[in-house]
Amino acid sequence: MEPNVKRGKIILISIICASLLLDATMTALVTFKFGLHRLPHGIIRFLVTSTFMYYIYTGKRWVKNLFAGLLIYSVISILLSYNTSLLLHPLMLLLLIVHSVSATLLIFSKDVRSYLDEKATRV
């Protein structure tokens, strides 16, 4: 495996781990704070995120572009929210950072592009 393909794989695995860990943490905290009636929403969101991540890892470019677009949408939505105290919460700041970095890497990283090209030619 070429070095840039290997770096792309490491970047994707890092994005997957960070996104799923953050999603699971948010689900656990929201469930703990607001009750079990919010748990199904969190589980569905986690499963959808996991599905996206699986298809990105297997080399589906359209899923990568869709997921990057959703990450950008979430960052813009949080930044434009009327609740400014929400932006000061450490978990929201972490969410903004992880989503911003993930979207940037998915869109602009040549290593990720090399990894996805490698996956596409293998199939």
Residue 123 is assigned to a structural domain of this protein: no
Find all residues with CB under 8 Å of 57, minimum gap 6, and list them. 12, 13, 16
Residue type, 35: G
Tens of pLDDT, residue by residue over 18-59, are 999 999 998 999 899 888 998 999 999 999 999 999 999 999
Domains: count for the chain? 1
Geometric angle at alpha carbon 103, from 99 and 108, rounded to 5°: 150
Residue 97 is assigned to a structural domain of this protein: yes
Q: Give the range of the structural domain holding residue 86, as residue numbers without chain letter.
A: 3-118
Residue type, 20: L
Residue 13 is assigned to a structural domain of this protein: yes
The confidence band for 123, taking pLDDT boundaries of 50, 70 and 90, is: low
Closest CA to 15 of 78, 103, 110, 117: 103
Residue 107 is assigned to a structural domain of this protein: yes
User: At residue 86, does pLDDT exceed 70?
Assistant: no
Computed on alpha carbons and rounded to an integer, the radius of gyration of the chain in Å comes to: 16
